[in-house]
Copies of this chain bind each other. A is one copy, B any other.
Amino acid sequence: MIDKSNSFPVKIPQTEQERILIIGGGFGGLQLVRNLKNAPYQVVMVDRHNYHTFQPLLYQVATGGLEPDSIGTPLRKIFTGQGNFIFRMAEAKLVDPEEKRLYTNIGHIDYDYLVFASGSKTNYFGMVDVQTYAMPMKTIPQAIDLRAMLLENLEKAMYTVTEHEVETLIDIVVVGGGPTGVETAGALAELKMRVLPADYPELDFNRMDIYLVELGPKLLAGMSEKASRKTKQFLEKLGVNIWLNTGLVSFDGKVAKFNNGKEIPTTTLIFSAGVAANTIPGLDHESLHRSGRILVNENLKVKGYDNIYAVGDVAGFSADEGKTFLPMVAPVAIQQGQYLAKLFRKKAKNGFKYKDRGAMATIGKNKAVADLGPFKLTGVAAWFVWMFVHLMSIVGFRNRLLVFINWLWYYIFYRQNIRLIIRPFKREIPEPKEETVKV
């Protein structure tokens, strides 16, 4: 895939300082760079996007609650004025630890220290058909695409004649009962109840079925019993059909089949049932867990290497001697990024310790669940905590303000607002005029 002999170095100013090269501008990478401000290193980051994505709110972009621009912040803007920071928009492809060199789609970059902060990607568990036809929701372009698809299907339903085809277009299956699946299903249910009937008076929305399908015996498996139970109640109240203990078997873009023998005819299957570490080739086999996560020690140093680290979803950090890894969630990445910066500043002590401050999920207006240590909140209180915590976590005051206005608007008018079907611009190129003469 990468031809090493044909690769050129990426132009980067040379300094006297040692170079820390970071793959990925997610929560982990962001905290690391921020906390390396004025540290005696040259900090180089590569990311395939020029922006940081606030992933916990992607589902609101997909369901028309927020503009894409308000959950993305340009990485260059975040680190404006941070003199030791260099950004290159590039996709990491291959690492060669011997050469201390990272190969990317724009050339190679040498490093003194390498940090994997490359997050996770959707895990289809090898189901090629699902990967081909289902909608993932890990990036802003994917969320915009999903929003366009949901609305296009409704537009198609307006001129589709047979009942069966109409239902195939409007029914939605969400696979995966974790936070993303739960929040997406809740937002879709509110769209169905509050917004769409006014937009499409010709359509009977009682015919629109929303399914949430989970392989395990409960929703939000990582949270408390009470949170799971309440979440199920909230969703059912919103009219979501919940199938527990059910696995997706196949999806061909028209029919989703499950291991309980049931089938749902639908064009829209949102797949949020699994994530896998987002790695690149080049590390020793011994450094990787069979799940794909990169094994790190208590200092987040990758097994078998002295100058390679990993933080966040991609890192397999275990606090119980390898029995379980920390979950793939933003707070872990944030704390690990902060810890690693301390380590580089030689101020870290005693190894990384994760402070679990709890978990939460929102299901709809005034409906959320939050496990905050001994406090298990549900309903309105949890909803306000959720909103406050998320609002404060968004990068940049301007985005925070725009999200706040959108949410306030939603709270008052109880309607999502953003419903443009934005499809990529396709150029229509005319055929050049034929100048040859037919014989």
CB proximity to B under 8 Å, residues A99-114: 106-107
Known: A107-B159, A405-B401. A74 touches B10 (CB 8 A): no
Cα separation A322 to B159 with both chains bound (whole Å): 41
Determine whether the beta carbon of A418 is less than 8 Å from that of B69: yes
Closest B residue to A79 by CB, please name it. B199
Nearest chain B CB to A325 CB, angstrom units:
25
Contacting residues, chain B, for A139 (C-beta < 8 A): 425
Q: Does B199 lie within 8 Å of A69, measured CB to CB?
A: no
A131 at the interface (CB under 8 A from B): yes
Check A280 for interface membership: any CB of B closer than 8 A.
no
Complex CA–CA separation, A427 to B139 (angstroms): 12
Selected contact of A128 from candidates B159, B200, B429, CB within 8 Å: B429
Q: Is the CB of B50 within 8 A of A159?
A: no
**A151, B50: Cα distance in complex, Å:** 9
- The stretch from A140-148, A311-319, A376-384, A387-395 touching chain B is A140-148
A417–B398 CB distance below 8 A? yes
Decide if A430 is an interface residue (CB 8 Å cutoff). yes
Complex Cα distance, B87 from A401, in Å, reads 34
Task: Known contacts A106-B159, A131-B430, A159-B88; decide if A425 and B142 are in contact (CB<8 Å).
Answer: yes
Pair B155/A89 contact, Cβ less than 8 Å = yes
| A385, CB-defined interface residue at 8 Å | no
B50 near A419 (CB under 8 angstroms)?
A: yes
The reply on A11 being an interface residue by CB < 8 A is yes
Query: Are the C-beta atoms of A72 and B420 separated by less than 8 Å?
Result: yes
| Known contacts A89-B421, A424-B145; A198/B159 CB under 8 A | no
A161: Cβ under 8 A from any B Cβ: yes
Q: Any chain B CB within 8 A of the CB of A237?
A: no
Apart from A69-B418, A398-B409, 17 more pairs, CB < 8 Å? A11-B158, A11-B161, A51-B419, A67-B68, A74-B199, A76-B199, A77-B198, A77-B419, A80-B199, A81-B198, A89-B158, A89-B421, A107-B159, A128-B433, A141-B422, A398-B417, A402-B405
